[in-house]
Amino acid sequence: MCGIVGYIGQRDCTDVLMQGLEKLEYRGYDSAGIAVFEKTGIKTVKTKGKLADMRHKLDIEGSPVGHCGIGHTRWATHGEPSDINSHPHTNGRVTIVHNGIIENYIELKEFLTEKGYTFTSQTDTEVVACLLDYYYSERNPLRAITETLKELQGSYALGIIFRDFPDRVYATRKESPLIVGIGENEYFIGSDIPAFLKYTKKYVLLDDNDIVCMKTDGIEYYDVHGIPEQKEISIAEWDVEQAQKCGYPHFMLKEIHEQPGIVAKTMESCCRDGVPYFENIGLTDDMLRDVKRVFIVACGTAMHAGIIARYAIEQLARVPVTVEVASEFRYMDPIVGEGDLVIVVSQSGETADTKAGLELAKERGAKTLAVVNVKYSAIARQADMYIHTLAGPEIAVASTKAYTAQISVMYLLAFRFAFARGRIDLQRMKELTAQALSAPAAIQRVIDRKNECQFIASKLVNADNLFFIGRSFDYALSLEGSLKLKEISYIHSEAYAAGELKHGTISLIEPGIPVITVATQANVLAKTISNMEEVKARGGMIIAVCRKGTVFAENSVDLTLEIDADLDDMLVPLPTVCALQLIAYYTSVLRGIDPDKPRNLAKAVTTE
Ligand code: G6P
């Protein structure tokens, strides 16, 4: 999704904006631009393409020289990716960058056209620049913004500069992330903290429709009516190193390697005296005992973490769990309300559909719990209760460490749930917790054998289609392994519940087609093996991801990847997913794709 940066201070603004945009590249984008106040006025440089194209254009057109400006990476929604549709957009005396969608932009455009305005781009953003210009009079930018906000419907984060004020950057937001960075006599805006982390760890969160005015000599905050207000300064826990590659060729590989540490840290933060503990966030045993049903609402990889959670919670606590894709949940008129616990899972904490699902659940009287990686995000702030996954900044678009952190939390939640409902005793809860806390060592063992994953990837690299199959937890993992592989290798892949294969899909099995069979669960192993053999009989290439020592019939498997883990079957997904992530990573790299920035995908999807 789009990335916004803004700066005012003494540094070279172009440099600060470009470096900030680099840090936001992970969000996904297809064009970029900056606008900087030079001595003679605002200079805007923008282009379709990546930041490398932008740097090239800056070399040709000359980098703007100044100390105040705004920048943007755009992920096209209204209007194709093109130089003209790239941000910043100027109309009249106003130049802006925007993230989000203005839902009533067509009506606003008609109104402004009647007033004599013309437009050069197809974007909803230019309409906002124009509306700001329409309301700008008597050199009063604040009034222009408050009047404009009254008219806007939809979601937005806006960085705004007014031609008459070369020493100010204004910003505002609603339902779209925007954070203010506070330096020494310098100020920043960014869609995420890494955009300015190099310069300051101090940040301020804006509430919906707060307005900020950053000047060289200070910063002012206003509410939607233009009334001055005070905001609290927080200190980011992330450090610069966490947001850098640190010698790894890609963020994705670095993030996969971070998993043993992250899983350990996240689990420890949720335990006290060797057992899961959530009373500190308001989630008491009484509450868990009284829950009638659990809904897990999320998107993408976070939703797949929810499926693991479903198996764990239902098996241990015997409470019904439904996992819903957030974009469906919000419009399906779900039967949810008092007595239900709705768990929303999100790395970014900004995903529009997940956030809407959370709001709906709250409206209908359910208790809400967020499992989120970004502490200052909207979802973390809105939910009744909040568990912070300690994965640190996840930069690669394909989520890895956030997923393992999410399932780590979910396991602990399942143990506590089961204990609170009298399904397991304290001793069993302690045993399960101790096992979970030992999972990082098993994850490390998978990472240490990454060459085997690389070898498997070399067998997939020329495939046009492939399948993942598994049962129970292995099915949940298959869904995630398949998503990971297809999103970064562009090979078509489908995940199937192994038992469902013969209900149609087996007709697609042709000689040589790779079928990655996840077979780690003892209670369904025999069944999975027979599904595997059905594939083999039709010439499929079987790659079995199984527990160490699993015995298969002769010639029934082409390649085997063994997971060496002394863990209860339920917990084996923790190391196993790491193997699937590595297979996806190496397949992507061997196909010459940058796994950190797969085409068309965005890291944080802040629009529907
Ligand atoms: C996007 C990302 C996925 C992610 C999903 C949910 O589609 O590309 O990797 O799983 O959003 O994001 P969230 O931040 O809510 O976990």
Domains in the chain, start-ordered, CATH in brackets?
3-240 (3.60.20.10), 251-442 (3.40.50.10490), 450-590 (3.40.50.10490)
pLDDT above 90: residue 555: no
Q: Cβ(386)–Cβ(372) under 8 Å? A: yes
What's CA 402's distance to the chain center, in Å?
9
List, in order, residues 6 or more apart from 589 with CB less than 8 Å away: 249, 250, 457, 595
Q: Rounded to 5 degrees, what are φ and ψ at 119?
A: -125, 145
pLDDT above 90: residue 231: yes
Asked if residue 391 has its Cβ within 6 Å of ligand 1, the reply is: no
List, in order, residues 6 or more apart from 460 with CB less than 8 Å away: 466, 485, 489, 491, 514, 583, 587
- Would you list the DSSP string of 276-345? E--GGGT--HHHHHH--EEEEEE-HHHHHHHHHHHHHHHHHH---EEEEEHHHHTTS-----TTEEEEEE
* Dihedral (Cα; 369, 371, 375, 379), 10-degree rounding: -60
Asked if residue 302 has its Cβ within 6 Å of ligand 1, the reply is: yes
Percent of the chain scored above 90 by pLDDT? 85
Q: What is the pLDDT of residue 473?
A: 98
Per-residue pLDDT, averaged over 337-341, amounts to 97
Q: Cβ(66)–Cβ(38) under 8 Å? A: yes
CA–CA distance, 438 with 308 (Å, rounded to integer):
18
Q: Which residue has the tokens 């900004």?
A: 350
Asked if residue 348 has its Cβ within 6 Å of ligand 1, the reply is: yes
Per-residue pLDDT, averaged over 9-14, amounts to 97
Q: Cβ(9)–Cβ(192) under 8 Å? A: no
Q: What is the pLDDT of residue 184?
A: 94
Per-residue pLDDT, averaged over 99-116, amounts to 94
Inter-axis angle of helices 473-489 and 300-317, to 10 degrees? 170
Cα 395 to ligand 1 centre (Å): 12
Q: Cβ(528)–Cβ(470) under 8 Å? A: yes
- Is the bond preceding 88 in cis, omega lying within 30 degrees of 0? yes
> Is 139 strand, coil or helix?
coil
CA–CA distance, 396 with 249 (Å, rounded to integer):
12
Alpha helices in 461-502 (DSSP H): 473-489
Q: Which residue has the tokens 């078509």?
A: 492
If you ran DSSP here, which 8-state letter would residue 27 be given? G
Per the annotation, the verdict on 130 as an active-site residue is no
Catalytic member of 2, 68, 271, 453: 2
Q: What is the pLDDT of residue 30?
A: 87
Cα 604 to ligand 1 centre (Å): 6
Per the annotation, the verdict on 603 as an active-site residue is yes
Q: What is the pLDDT of residue 79?
A: 74
Helix or strand holding residue 454 (H, E): helix 450-460
Asked if residue 601 has its Cβ within 6 Å of ligand 1, the reply is: yes
Asked if residue 603 has its Cβ within 6 Å of ligand 1, the reply is: yes
Q: What is the pLDDT of residue 578?
A: 98
Mutate to test the pocket of ligand 1, among 297, 343, 347, 401 (most ligand atoms within 8 A of CB): 347
Q: What is the pLDDT of residue 122?
A: 86
Q: Cβ(158)–Cβ(184) under 8 Å? A: no
pLDDT above 90: residue 108: yes
| Cα angle 145, 151, 152; round to 5 | 85
Amino acid (1-letter code) at residue 87: H
User: What pTM does this model have?
Assistant: 0.84
pLDDT above 80: residue 332: yes
Alpha helices in 30-140 (DSSP H): 51-61, 105-114, 124-135
CA–CA distance, 587 with 93 (Å, rounded to integer):
50
Number of helices (H), then strands (E), in the chain: 18, 27
